[in-house]
Amino acid sequence: TERPSRDALRLAVRDRAGRVVQTLDARIPWTPRWSPEGTTLLYGAAPTGSDASELWTALPATGAVTRRTGEGRDANDPHWSPD
């Protein structure tokens, strides 16, 4: 079988029953992490036209996705801080 290109990868957010509640178009999605309160997903992904990973947040309740970095250097393996 043929593997999809890394440009075709998506990040699927699922509920506890395993149903997809949101699909995020994300090139090369990397290390998704839920916020401590469980409302926001933080992850790395490469923006269109770049192979450098940037950090993004997604709010599954609203569908909002926001790019959080933009230096053009790899930003990956995000973690939430307690403050």
Phi, psi (deg, nearest 5) at residue 67: -80, 130
Among 3-7, 10-14, 59-63, the range scoring the smallest mean pLDDT is 3-7
Give the pLDDT band of residue 4 (cuts 50, 70, 90). low
Strand 27-34 relative to strand 20-25, pairing: unpaired
pTM of the model: 0.78
pLDDT digits (tens, 9 = 90+) for 36-59: 998 999 998 888 777 788 899 999
Pairwise CA distance, residues 68 & 15, whole Å: 24
